[in-house]
Structure 1
Amino acid sequence: MIDKIAASVADALAGVQDGSTVLIGGFGTAGIPNELIDGLIEQGAKDLTLVCNNAGNGDEGVAALLKSGRVRKVICSFPRQADSYVFDELYRAGKVELELVPQGNLAERCRAAGAGIGGFFTPTGFGTELAKNPDGSLKETREINGKQYVFELPIYGDVALVKAETGDRWGNLMYRKAARNFGPVMAMAAKFTVASVHEVVELGTLDPETVVTPGIFVSKVVKVTRTETKAGGIKA
């Protein structure tokens, strides 16, 4: 019997290895799998490469993981925001590397990994510093129909941490509104995907037409308690 429900966050993350590339869903503060990130901090894996949209807010979530000193490199689109002071201090001190990737490219590079695509050409970044590889060499470029494009490689993950709204024991997932963001493509791009959910339902309860991430892309599902904002609303 297939049953991907983990008894706890610790059980779900027990196999994460040092040096892993970890894809973390979320956009700003929407859809951040904070419980899974806290669990990863407690689990102790180090020398990690994080792939996420931004490099943390305040002292929670991704910022807390950075502050723990276990991150070697961050691949993201928006590393500096008004409250991204943890990343800012670490980067200025030379304690963490950064690979800056335009947001659309970031999503497509993850999607390409999950879809088995070897790479793609995009006009985004052509003629800028973003058209260089992390080692400073130039990325491949090509003119297509009179327009210049840059070749981008997929981003594969060892682990993906995503936040969903509802799941079943097969790992089928539904998301809540904007909390969906990077979750589906990151779940596809990783070898091992852990999803936190607020509700676990019986098989057959989810309408197949509303399942966003099929269970084939999910390794573990763990139920977490829903948190609320200071204003009393639901945290996405």
Structure 2
Amino acid sequence: LDPASGRWIEDKLPIYDFETLDDFERLKIFEKPLLAALSRKSFIGDVLGKPANERLYGSLAAAAIAVYKGAHIIRTHDVPETSDVVKLSGALRSRTSVVKEGRYEVSVLEVKTPQDAGIAMRNIGATKTGSEVMQEKSIHLVLKIKNLTTTEALIIKQEMLARGGDAALARDAVSHETETTDVLVMGTLLQFGRLARKLDGQARSLPLIAEMIRECISNRTNLEYRYLR
């Protein structure tokens, strides 16, 4: 499977290739050998400001990332230089946890997006409708919210518990011995969506916090936010 990096059309921006390389491990969901053809590509030139014949080190960096994230095959103009990079990156890449016993097998499936979860579900025969219903339950996040009042923090914990998630806050916040606290909120995308809708109707600054939660989660898939600096 080759994700086809490079500017094949004039309108293609470098951030699309950034995303492809940054999220390369997502392609493992298709359970196919992965090829990365990154040598001297346009996005490397866009970052370094160099012509194709001066992009060796940028190409090596890109190859190292691709192998570390799961590439099985690297296509390159510079074989001797790239060979060492591939060996080292491959050695650093950890194995997926798999346990086999007789006809049974248990493995960890790394899923980064609901869409990937949907693909994995359909790969084992789940229906499209069922996959769409369940995929928002497949991604678990931990959000850190800073400087909440103790009351706001306790409301968030209570509401998240009611939805099957949880929240950790300072010990002194539980007994109101401190006025503010940071909070770690843990849950699935589905649970966070339901939490935000509930907070929309609450008092204090909780409607603002709800909108900030939505924006923070949305930023995870916003290419301009992720790569334009």
Length-normalised TM-score, structure 1 = 0.25
Higher relative contact order (CA 8 A, sep 6+): 1
Higher helix share: 2
Higher strand share: 1
- Bigger Rg over Cα: 2
